[in-house]
Amino acid sequence: MKTRFKPKFHIKKGDMVAVITGNDKNLTHPRKVLEVIPEKSRVLVEGANIRTRHTKPSAQNTKGGIVKQEAPIHISNVMLWDSKSGAPSRISHSREDGKSVRISKKSGGVI
């Protein structure tokens, strides 16, 4: 991705999202965003895209073994969760009191 302009995304760290495509697709279960990686257009979502990693014993981890952790997924594969309607929703941006706020298309409420 070109780095001339920093991309702007509608999803932030700590938001609740629904995974809309892939193996972890579930439109009825919201999940928390752990990290947003704007350079690669990816997000780290809690409990989605779990990968197993085999680790050797080391000074920090004396046992080693198999570690399960989340891997990033593309930001287009998640949709912001609207808590009012209890479903994923598209959003729009608007200004209220000089601040930019996100508004749900489904319920019309501020996220």
Assigned domain for 2 exists: no
Domain count, the chain: 1
Assigned domain for 3 exists: no
Rounded-to-integer distance, Cα 82 and Cα 18, Å:
10
C-beta pairs of 43-47 under 8 Å, 24+ apart in sequence: 43/11, 43/17, 43/72, 43/73, 43/74, 43/75, 43/78, 44/70, 44/71, 44/72, 44/73, 45/17, 45/19, 45/70, 45/73, 45/78, 46/70
pLDDT, one tens digit for every residue, the chain (111 residues) = 566 777 788 999 999 999 999 999 999 999 999 999 998 999 999 999 999 999 999 998 889 899 999 999 999 999 999 999 999 999 999 999 999 999 999 999 998
Assigned domain for 52 exists: yes
Q: What pLDDT does residue 35 have?
A: 96
Assigned domain for 8 exists: no
Q: What pLDDT does residue 3 have?
A: 66
Instruction: Look up the CATH number of the domain holding residue 21.
Output: 2.30.30.30
Element (H, E) at 82: strand 78-82
Rounded-to-integer distance, Cα 91 and Cα 31, Å:
17
Assigned domain for 21 exists: yes
Structural domain boundaries, residue 87: 16-104
Rounded-to-integer distance, Cα 78 and Cα 31, Å:
10
